[in-house]
Every structure is written in structure tokens, then in C-alpha cells.
Amino acid sequence: MVKSGKYSLKERLNVEELYNTLLGLAPREQALAIAGIAVVLILLIVIPFACAGSRLSKLEKQIESHEKNVSKVSSKILEYQQAQAKFKAVEAKIRPKSQVQLTTKLETLATGSGIGQNIDSLKEMPGTPGEDFEELVVAVRLSRLSLNQVLEFLVNVESQSDVSLKVKRLQLKPRYDNRQQFDANFEVSTFVSSAAAEAKPDEGG
């Protein structure tokens, strides 16, 4: 009867026979054989760990790269949310054009700051038209103000809670007759709902 070709590792590797063979070798050959066996055992132990370490290193790099990508996406989402919040805050201050008198607003602010008499001129300038929003611009000329008065007024202009005002094109010149006083030229702008945007609900009806 033919014996099965499937043998256990113990049956295929007769340790006792190998041991007897090793004892039958000369001392030099025994040393070489033992060294060879030691090398094989070391390789059998080290190679799997080395492979596992390599895979682990690759996995760590992949995880690190994934975390960086997630961080970038999260950062972009946060930037978008912040931009949306700023836009909504500005949009909440946008009034219909018929409700905004920019020149009158600036006169009131200057009077409230105690510099109404220092206004040389307030001149409406052409702004940037748009489909939904329109820019209103007023050129402002003030004279004989201290630096603190100028700065306080500019901060007051841009700190209004009911309407969003922006100061631009600021020019300060010290006066020749009093170097502690300044003449200031600048523009103040705001955005309002355009006439077309105000008419849209009526058109829909």
C-alpha cells in the first residue's frame, strides 16, 4: 500500500538523523555546519521582521500623508466658513440705495466727533455699478486736525454697526502754519442694493 505523500514537518525533517550526522562530522565541519544553521535561523527570524518593519514604515507614511491631506481640506473648509461669515456680516449691513445718504452720514459722524467745522468738502464720486450691488463713494476733505483727531474719526467711520463703511486713498499733509495739525483727503465707500436688485421681487410678482 502506497503511503501518503503528505508528511509533517517533523517527518520530513528528521532531527535525530541530522543530529547524528552532525556528530559524525569533523570538528571543523561541525563548526561550519552549526554556523550555517545559525545563519539560516537568524534569516528565518530577521527577514519576516524586516518585511513587517518595511510594511509598517510604508503604512506610517501613508497615514502621515493622509493626515496632511485631511488637515489641508479642514483648513480650506475653515477658510471658506470664515469667508462666508465675513460676507454674511457685510451683507447684513447692506441697505437699499434709497435708505443710504452717505454724505449726510459722514456729516453726522464728523459733528459727533467734534470736527464738523473742519469739513472742507464732501463730494459724491462715481462708484462701481453692479447687477445686485452698487458702490457709493464720497471724497472727503478735512483741515486743521490733530493726528489723533484724524485717526479717531477714521476708526469711527469704519466701526459703524448699521452700515459697512470703508476708508481708502488716505492722504495726510502737515500744515505749514502749524506742523502739529494736518489736512486729510480720503474717500469713504459703501455698498448698497442696486435698483435692479430692489426691483427683482416686483418682477417675480
How confident is residue 23, by pLDDT bands cut at 50, 70 and 90?
low
Q: Rounded distance, CA 201 to CA 131, Å?
A: 14
For residues 158 and 48, give the distance between their C-alpha atoms in angstroms, rounded to a whole number. Answer: 68
The Cα–Cα gap between 56 and 166 comes to 56
Say if CB 188 and CB 138 are below 8 A apart.
Answer: yes
Which SS3 state, helix, strand or coil, does residue 127 take? Answer: coil
Segment 36-81, tens digit of pLDDT: 777 777 777 777 777 777 777 777 777 877 777 777 777 777 777 7
| Digit-coded pLDDT (tens) for 106-128 | 999 999 999 999 999 999 988 77
Q: At what angle do helices 147-158 and 102-112 cross, to 10 degrees?
A: 130
Using a cut of 0.85, tell me whether the model's pTM lies above it.
no
